[in-house]
Structure 1
Amino acid sequence: MTFVQVIDCKTSRLDDMNQLMDTWLERTNGKRTATHSVIGRDRSDASHVVEIVEFPSYEEAMRNSELAETDELFQEIVALCEEPPSFTDLDVVREDQLNTANARRYFEEGVNNRSYDTLRELCTPDYREHDPANPADPVDLENSIAAAAEMLEALQPVITVESELAEGDLVTLRWTSTATHNREYLGVEPTGRELTVSGHTTFRFREDKIAESWWNWDYFGLLVQLGIIEQ
């Protein structure tokens, strides 16, 4: 179970605290068990600083606290604080990655079900798409849907998301697509061939909608499987 520790403190020496964190990160490289750390400052009270540290589990957090470097960091942070810091230990009982859910929906509903209205719903009106396989770069929402529809209707691919990574307003999905060449595509009459391609897509979100995307996929491999070019 994911474990989160929240550290509250009062300090006017945030720059010094950041330097301490940089030193700790360098000295614990390869040893620490913390996976994510965020430091925030209260907008209504500049001396109120909160650090949120995430661990894979409570046990991993305890391993991290036993590091000599962690104990030294704690003592130095206490010295920077105007009063003893407080700690809140949390077992994470629910974690929702809303952008990741919408990124998966783009593939699982928009692409796999050929639901073009879903693609419009998920994207901003000023959406821009970058794809080396498309000679026009970037393309807007309607042109991207038109290009996608040509491929989707001809090949009817099913995309399986293999892994995902989210950071800030970006979500990257690694995927595999299986398809069948049932209709004319790129000037090639239907061959009935089973096609497999893989790639990854990075989506940039703005207010829960996809504002921009970058596609990197095996377009060359698709052309080879269609018999358009020889390998």
Structure 2
Amino acid sequence: MEANKAIVKRFNKEVIEQGNVESFKELMDPAFINHSAPAGANNGPAGMINTFNNVLRPAMPDMKVIIYSQVAEGDLVTTRKAIVGTQTGTLLGIPPSGKQLTIDVIDIVRIKDGKYFEHWGVNTLPAVLASLK
């Protein structure tokens, strides 16, 4: 279980925070399913990397991930975290505000053979977007 937690920590640091596509390819199972993808969005690996590298990163180039806690049981890892950054770019159609944004997240990841296989999560992005309008 500690190894699975380490995989999730690595994904958060290297993929979400740093935008490392090679780490993404290494850590993502080709059959990955994001059960929390918005309706109509790609719920596979391409949709996941798109969210980080084409939606969030351009809006918050200084993006960081703060992991508050993790709990592992079997092949599941639950993480309570925040994605923080300064909105210096357009975020889902909302022009740059210069504000420090905090998106709180709780997610559950199923690890299979050392890779992300499934994801479920909730986040405060809708509330953050509403605060910018």
Verify same fold: TM over 0.5.
yes
Matched positions, count? 131
Q: Contact between 1:112 and 1:158, CA under 8 Å: does it hold in 2?
A: yes
- For 2:125 and 2:96, the matched residues in 1 are separated by 18
- Tell me the equivalent position of 2:77: 171
Cα deviation, residue 153, structure 1: 2.2
TM-score normalised over the length of structure 2:
0.89
TM-score normalised over the length of structure 1:
0.53
Cα deviation, residue 219, structure 1: 2.0
- Tell me the equivalent position of 1:129: 34
Query: What one-letter code is carried by the residue in structure 1 that aligns with 2:4?
Result: N
Cα deviation, residue 215, structure 1: 1.6
Q: Is 1:155 the equivalent of 2:64? A: no
- Largest Rg, 1 or 2: 1
- The change in CA–CA distance for 1:178 and 1:161 in structure 2 (over 3 A counts) is same
Query: What one-letter code is carried by the residue in structure 1 that aligns with 2:11?
Result: Y
Q: State the Cα RMSD in Å.
A: 1.7
- For 1:161 and 1:211, the matched residues in 2 are separated by 20
Q: Contact between 2:41 and 2:47, CA under 8 Å: does it hold in 1?
A: no
- Give 1:21-32 correspondences, 5 Å limit: none
Q: Contact between 2:34 and 2:120, CA under 8 Å: does it hold in 1?
A: yes
Name which structure has the greater RCO, CA cutoff 8 Å, separation 6+.
2
- Among residues 103, 115, 119, which one is paired with 1:213 in the alignment? 119
Q: Contact between 1:130 and 1:137, CA under 8 Å: does it hold in 2?
A: no
Cα deviation, residue 127, structure 1: 0.7
- Tell me the equivalent position of 2:96: 190
User: Unpaired runs of 5+ in structure 2?
Assistant: none
Q: Contact between 1:124 and 1:210, CA under 8 Å: does it hold in 2?
A: yes
- Tell me the equivalent position of 1:116: 21
- For 2:119 and 2:42, the matched residues in 1 are separated by 9
